[in-house]
Chain A
Amino acid sequence: MTGAWSTKEKIGLACVALALIALPFVLAMAGTAWVRITNFAVLFILLSLGLNIVVGFAGLLDLGYVAFFAVGAYVYALLASPHFGLHLPFWLILPIGAAVAGLAGAVLGAPTLRLRGDYLAIVTLGFGEIVRIFMNNLSAPVNITNGPKGINLIDPFRIGDFSFSANSGALSGPIKYYYFLLLVLLAVIVINRRLQDSRIGRAWVAIREDEIAAKAAGINTRNIKLLAFAMGASFGGIAGGMFAAIQGFVSPESFILNESIMILAMVVLGGMGNIWGVIAGAVLLSFMPELLRYTVEPAQKALFGRMLVDPEVLRMLIFGLALVLTMRFRPAGLWPETRHRRELDADRK
C-alpha cells in the first residue's frame, strides 16, 4: 500500500465518485423505487463488509450474522420510536447500536472459541435463531420488543429541522439516505482497509491460516477472535440502525436465517477476504433479484402471453445456479484476495 496515487488512478477515482454522486438522480428517473433498492444494496454491502472481517479475515464461519443486524435495528427502534416514548438523535443511537451489537458479538463469540468450520457454523446458526426468537417473544411479561407485531413509527434521521424522510426540492427522502449511506460506506471501507493492513489484521489472517502456529507465534487467539466477532458485529449494528430508520418499522421477520445465508453468499461469491470482491458480490446479489423481478414477468408475457414461472421461483433457481457455477469455476470467488496478485507482481520484477 503506497500513499501516492498516480494521475491515472486519481482520474479514475474522480470518475467513480462523480458516477456515485449522480447515480440516485439517474435512478430516480426510472422511479424512486430504484433508489430504495440501491439503498438496500448499500446496506447489504455494509453487512457483507462486516461479515468479511469474521469470515474473510479471521476465517470464522458465521451463519448467524443477521443477529447483529437485528440488534442494531432494535436498538434504534427502541430508542427512537413512540414504543418507549424515547426519541434520541440518530448520531447518538448509531454508535450505541454499534457498541451493543459489538458486545453481543463478543458474548456470542465467547462460547464458540474452541470451534471451527462446520461446528462453528452450526453454533452461530443457532445463536442467530435465538436472537430472532428473543425478539419475537420479549413482549411479555414486560413488553420490550412488541413481539411479532414489531415496532412501528420509528423516527427517521433528523438534524434540526432537516428530516431524511421528507422530500426537499429535488432531494427526495431516499436520495438523502443514499448519500448518508454512501458516506458510512466510505468510512467502513477505509476502516476495513486500515484494519487489514494492521497488526490486528495480520493476526486475524494468521489465525485463519493456522491457529496453532498463530498461538505459538505469540498471538492471544482468544482475544483476537473475540475482537473479530465484535468488530464484525458492530458494523452489522450500524447497518441495522440505518435499516430501522429507513424502513420506519422493524419486526423479527426481517432477521431470518435466509438473510444470514444471503450475506454469507455475498462474501463467498465476491471473494472472501477481498474488500472489493465482497462489495461486488453484495451489489450483484442485491440487484439481481430486482432486475429479474422487472424483466422476467414482461419477458414471459411477451413470449408466452402469460406467466409460466413465478419470478420468485426463478430467482432462487438462477441464484443457486450462479453459486454452483462460481464454486465450480472460481472457488476463491469472483474477485479473490489480492495477496495472490501481489505475488505475481513480485515474480515479474
Chain B
Amino acid sequence: MTDVLLEARNIGKKFGGVQALKDVSLTIRRGEIYGLIGPNGAGKTTLFNVFTGLYPRDGGEVLFTGQPLALESPHTVAAAGIARTFQNIRLFGNMTARENVMVGRHVRTKAGVFGAILRSPAERAEEAAIRRRADELLHYVGIADRADNLARNLSYGDQRRLEIARALATEPQLLALDEPAAGMNATETVGLRQLIDGLRKDGLTVLLIEHDVKLVMGLCDRVAVLEYGEKIAEDVPEAVKNNPKVIEAYLGTSAH
C-alpha cells in the first residue's frame, strides 16, 4: 500500500540572492510519519511555509491527494486538509484553551453574521457541535482540565499540545509539526512522542520537522534530509543514518 498523500515536485524558493530551496521533490505517503531533518538554515521551515501557503514559491508544484494544491493563502491550504503548528508556538494568548480549539473549527463550519445575530437554531446547533468537538480534542491531547485557562498561562508543554489540538480541529489529512519538541524537557518529549504515535495509529499522516534526531529516528517511517536547500537523502531512518552524505552534512568532512 503506497498511497501517496502529498507529492512536491521541484519546489524552489529564493530570498533575494539566497536560494533557500532548490528543486526539492518529495512524496509523503498516507498514514506515515515523515521526518524532515537537516542542519540549521537548511531550508526545513522554508519548505514547510511553502507547503502551508505562508510563502509564495518560485517554482515547482505540490499535489495533494492527487490534485494540485491551491497555495495562494494559508487558509485555502487548511481547507484542503493540511494543518500545521509553529516552531515558536503561535496561540491566541488571550483566548481560553477551548476557544483556541474552537477557532480551528472555523474552516469546517459556516455560521455567518446573521445566523449569530438571530441565534438561529442552525447556528446554535453548530456552536454546540463546535464546543463539543473542541472539548473532545482537548481531552485527546490530554489537557481537558485546562479548557478554561487562557492559552498564554498554560505550561510550555501544554501550549504545544494545545497547538496540536487546534490544528486537529481543522480535520486535516496531513498534520505538519514544526519542531514540536523544541524546548521540551525529557518527560514532555516522551509524552509528545506518545501523542504523535497515537495520531498515526488513528490514521493521520504526519510531517515532522525536528532537531531531536533520536525522536525522529525512533518515530518516523521515512526521513528526508535537507542541506543548503537541497534534498540529499530520503529513506527509512536506518538507511538515512548511514548515508555518507548525511554524515558529512552533520559532521563535516575531514580537513585536508
Could you tell me the distance in whole angstroms from the C-beta of A317 to the nearest C-beta in chain B? 34
B111 touches A199 (CB 8 A): yes
| A190-221 with Cβ < 8 A to chain B | 191, 194-195, 197-203, 205-206, 209-210, 212-221
Chain B interface size, as a band, is: 35 or more
Q: Mark B93-121, 1 if CB is under 8 A from A, else 0.
A: 11110010011111111011101110100
Would you call B166 an interface residue if the criterion is a C-beta within 8 Å of the partner chain's C-beta atoms?
A: yes
The residue in A209, A227, A337 that gathers the most chain B C-beta atoms within 10 A of its C-beta is A209
A217 contacts B103, C-beta separation under 8 Å:
yes
B116 and A199 within 8 A (CB): yes
Query: How far, in Å, is A80 (CB) from chain B's closest CB?
Result: 26
Main secondary structure of the interface of A (DSSP, over half): helix
Q: Which residues of A contact B130 (CB under 8 A)?
A: 199
A342 at the interface (CB under 8 A from B): yes
Q: Which residues of A lie under 8 Å from residue B167 when comparing CB positions? A: 217
Q: Cα distance A340–B149 when bound, in Å?
A: 9
Given that A210-B91, A342-B96 are contacting pairs, would A216 and B52 also be in contact in the complex, using a CB cutoff of 8 Å?
yes
Q: Beyond A199-B127, A206-B95, is A217–B117 a contact (Cβ under 8 Å)?
A: no
Q: B residues bordering A, Cβ < 8 Å? A: 52-54, 73-75, 78-79, 83-84, 86, 90-96, 99, 102-109, 111-113, 115-117, 119, 123, 126-127, 130, 148-150, 153, 166-167, 169-170
Known: A217-B83, A346-B149. 15 other contacts (CB 8 A): A199-B105, A199-B106, A199-B116, A206-B95, A209-B95, A212-B90, A213-B91, A215-B54, A215-B74, A215-B78, A216-B90, A217-B78, A219-B75, A219-B103, A346-B96
16 CB-based A-B contacts, threshold 8 Å? A198-B127, A199-B126, A200-B113, A201-B116, A202-B106, A203-B103, A205-B92, A209-B94, A215-B75, A216-B54, A216-B84, A217-B83, A217-B107, A217-B166, A343-B153, A346-B96
A contact residues vs B (CB 8 Å cutoff): 191, 194-195, 197-203, 205-206, 209-210, 212-221, 227, 231, 337, 339-340, 342-343, 345-347
